[in-house]
Structure 1
Amino acid sequence: MSQPLKDILVLDFSTLLPGPMATLMLAEAGAEVIKVERPVTGEDARHTSPKIDGESIGFAVLNHGKKSVAIDLKSEDARAILRPLLEKADVVVEQFRPGVMDRLGFGYEAVRAINPRIIYCSITGYGQTGPKAKSAGHDMNYVGDAGVLSLSRGPVDQPTAPFGLVADVGGGTYPAVVNILLALMARQQTNEGVHLDIAMSEGAFAFAYWAHAQGVIAGQDIGSASARLTGGLARYRLYSASDGRQIAVGAVEEKFWQAFCDVIGQPEALRDDWSDPDACAAEVARRLGSQPSTHWEPLLIAADCCCSVVKTPAEAARDPHFTARGVFDRTLNIAGQEVPALPLPIAPEFRSPAGSAGRAATLGEDNVRFGADLRDRE
């Protein structure tokens, strides 16, 4: 099957995570992505650890398969230099605070004047408008402001940081990709572009839809780790085995819960985790804590009751299931070494053949190709 975005040109002004991951997804579906970076140092992610022979692994994981143009956007002739690319680009992705691209001369209206069909995607923490629009923040701030972090923040004396970058990826990357694709479809009908205003904090709300129903619409108070899906019931919690490994008990449905209770020998009198969840959970914890995870894992697998041993990232990458599905078959080149590429939710039918996904371009590698003459501006 032909890659659906093979004729799409994307100019990527974004840095770090949300925008670069979004443009990586577009690149994997066939788009040509040109990363626009500042001269000399490039974007900050190029300097993050760990590294292979001086090359940042994190940067390569998010930016392989893209081209790189290094240019000082503050220079007087930056707009003239980039104009040929802006004229033929289909998508622009930027991640500056509101107003920054306008001051640089690359805001939506300025680019739209050059290319009316442009799909201009702005990814920010709080959106282009509103009292917090220009406020600084990171993932933890966004999920905190969205009320999501309060649902499972750990004990008061030892708060727990979120396990993943929910707002960055779930509130920034994914909405950006979805709306860019929708905009490309809409443009086929109208021949017009659009300015997409993606706010990471707003995108985080969807990850706790049940909290919206319970806390916003029904007006019920939701304490930390007190709801059905955040540890309020014994049947949906993390427990520790005797070897320190954790077991994820997700036996929400009654049939799974009863099957799990049978495995661990939970007494009938302590199986009702609705009437006395603490007593029930305490007994589950005692029983699971009496044996190592190696004892419980085959029993839980056999019971097929939505309970499993929590894996490390390295263990997950070796899981026979993911291996069988080819999740880590794609590789990228970092400093001459072939390493697994980050699994992304792009169907194999829309990607290039499995195997090497390329490498991250060196800073300014494509300047000459695209006519970005920077000899007097470095």
Structure 2
Amino acid sequence: MSPLHGLRVLELAAIGPVPYAAMLLADLGAEVVRIDRADGEQPFAAWHRGIDRGRRRVALDLKQPDALARLLSLVEDSDVLLEGFRPGVAERLGFGPRACHERNPGLVYGRMTGWGQDGPLAHAPGHDINFLALSGALDAIGPEGGDPVVPLNLVGDFAGGALPLAVGVLAAVLEQRTTGIGRVIDAAIVDGTASLLTMLAAMEGAGLWSRGRGRNLLDGGAPFYTVYTCADGRHVAVGALEERFYRQFVRGLGLDPEQLPDRDDPAQWPALRRQFALRFATADRDSWAGRFDGTEACVTPVLSLAEAAEHPHHRARGTYRDEAGLRLPAAAPRFLDDPSRAAAAAQHVP
């Protein structure tokens, strides 16, 4: 039986973090009912073909009294509601937290916004890139001397938005099981993204992080924790942070560590990077991947999405699966006593 078997979730149609959070709950066994627009318009349907899995769907025009009554009747039999409207919209439509809790005091009401339910920007529009920019995350990502680099919408929408929403829902459900009382969760992408920066903020406060991009241990500034271009124009990722991994990395490059600039001196990093870059430029990506395979040098090829799905490690674990004509990532995390997951992984072994 799945961990969330019996948990009933209502998902009000939205984009990005709300459907992804609902997918996570559905993957863990929750019964998710998606409330779609009655006009059938789904402007982001192609984007959501993967993350919309695991739902039953009901179309309602929530501006109509009979549709609102139907929604509130569904609330009575649900444990969780997820919505991603701007602050105040759900209240104006008649299904805000107060109206829902009058029907079901134990309902966990999850609210997902970019800026939060209050504050000067609460009602302002925005997207992932804007929330990253104002949280401080975007300024820290990118090469030295270059512009900030947009990390897809992984950091904001999904890591900073959907994951805190899902964790908040699960925490509130645990409390609900004891008290019978629900909670209202204010999940904001800008808050969650700021939370992701906790370690970096502490490092900066301790003088261990430069304010410039691409100059630090974990932002690509260190020549032993970065990406290199190979002879075929493809790339390898190097994560040789620890000394013993670094020595294997240098050995795999065919270099003598005693003849190299001091890796512990950031002033020497540009010179060290140049030597590594010259070596990687002498062979193609897969040659380097083969050379480092089986070592502890922490060197891996940078794979495309299509390549990643076919990698032997992912095939052995069933990390990707075929669904509705798409190759999609499977549910995560996994539970080691789940026989269905073990069977799925076995089907992908070459």
Which residue among 105, 111, 115 is the counterpart of 2:104?
115
**C-alpha separation in 1, matches of 2:216 and 2:32:** 43
Indicate conservation of the 8 Å contact 1:266/1:284, yes or no.
Answer: no
**C-alpha separation in 2, matches of 1:160 and 1:347:** 32
Structure-2 residue corresponding to 1:342:
329
Pair 342,240 (structure 1): closer, same or farther in 2 beyond 3 Å: same
Displacement of 1:292 in angstroms is 1.4
Indicate conservation of the 8 Å contact 1:171/1:202, yes or no.
Answer: yes
Pair 277,220 (structure 1): closer, same or farther in 2 beyond 3 Å: closer
Q: How many residues were matched structurally?
A: 340
**C-alpha separation in 2, matches of 1:350 and 1:186:** 26
Structure-2 residue corresponding to 1:28:
27
| 1:233 and 2:229 aligned | no
Where do 1:130-141 residues align within 5 Å? 130-141=119-130
Of the structure 1 ranges 111-120 and 29-38, higher mean CA displacement relative to structure 2 is found in 29-38
Q: TM-score, normalised by structure 1?
A: 0.84
% identical equivalent positions: 32
Indicate conservation of the 8 Å contact 1:4/1:350, yes or no.
Answer: no
Indicate conservation of the 8 Å contact 1:248/1:310, yes or no.
Answer: yes
In structure 1, stretches of 5+ residues that fail to align are: 47-55, 357-378
Once the two structures are superposed, residues 164-203 of structure 1 have per-residue CA deviations (whole angstroms, 9 ceiling, x without a partner) of 5211111111111111111111111111000011011111
Structure-1 residue corresponding to 2:12:
13
Of the structure 1 ranges 171-180 and 342-351, higher mean CA displacement relative to structure 2 is found in 342-351
Indicate conservation of the 8 Å contact 2:200/2:209, yes or no.
Answer: no
Q: TM-score, normalised by structure 2?
A: 0.90
Indicate conservation of the 8 Å contact 1:22/1:174, yes or no.
Answer: yes
**C-alpha separation in 1, matches of 2:186 and 2:115:** 9
Structure-2 residue corresponding to 1:149:
138
**C-alpha separation in 1, matches of 2:330 and 2:271:** 40
3-state SS of paired residue (1:44): coil
Q: Which amino acid aligns with 2:260?
A: L
**C-alpha separation in 2, matches of 1:261 and 1:124:** 47
Pair 33,123 (structure 1): closer, same or farther in 2 beyond 3 Å: same
**C-alpha separation in 2, matches of 1:45 and 1:324:** 32
Structure-1 residue corresponding to 2:118:
129
Displacement of 1:63 in angstroms is 1.2
Alignment RMSD: 2.2
Which residue among 207, 210, 218 is the counterpart of 2:196?
207
Where do 1:65-104 residues align within 5 Å? 65-104=54-93
Pair 221,306 (structure 1): closer, same or farther in 2 beyond 3 Å: closer
**C-alpha separation in 2, matches of 1:320 and 1:292:** 20
Indicate conservation of the 8 Å contact 1:42/1:70, yes or no.
Answer: no
**C-alpha separation in 2, matches of 1:280 and 1:218:** 23
Structure-2 residue corresponding to 1:251:
240
Displacement of 1:253 in angstroms is 0.4
Indicate conservation of the 8 Å contact 1:96/1:123, yes or no.
Answer: yes
Of the structure 1 ranges 35-44 and 266-275, higher mean CA displacement relative to structure 2 is found in 266-275
**C-alpha separation in 1, matches of 2:152 and 2:273:** 22
**C-alpha separation in 2, matches of 1:59 and 1:246:** 29
Structure-2 residue corresponding to 1:274:
264
3-state SS of paired residue (2:48): helix
**C-alpha separation in 1, matches of 2:211 and 2:202:** 11
Indicate conservation of the 8 Å contact 2:108/2:183, yes or no.
Answer: yes
Structure-1 residue corresponding to 2:323:
332
Displacement of 1:123 in angstroms is 0.7
**C-alpha separation in 2, matches of 1:158 and 1:149:** 10
Structure-1 residue corresponding to 2:348:
none
**C-alpha separation in 1, matches of 2:331 and 2:262:** 40
Q: Which amino acid aligns with 1:15?
A: A
Which residue among 218, 223, 228 is the counterpart of 2:212?
223
Q: Which amino acid aligns with 1:228?
A: L
**C-alpha separation in 1, matches of 2:214 and 2:277:** 16
Once the two structures are superposed, residues 110-138 of structure 1 have per-residue CA deviations (whole angstroms, 9 ceiling, x without a partner) of 11111111000001111111112122111
Displacement of 1:14 in angstroms is 3.7
Indicate conservation of the 8 Å contact 2:144/2:215, yes or no.
Answer: no
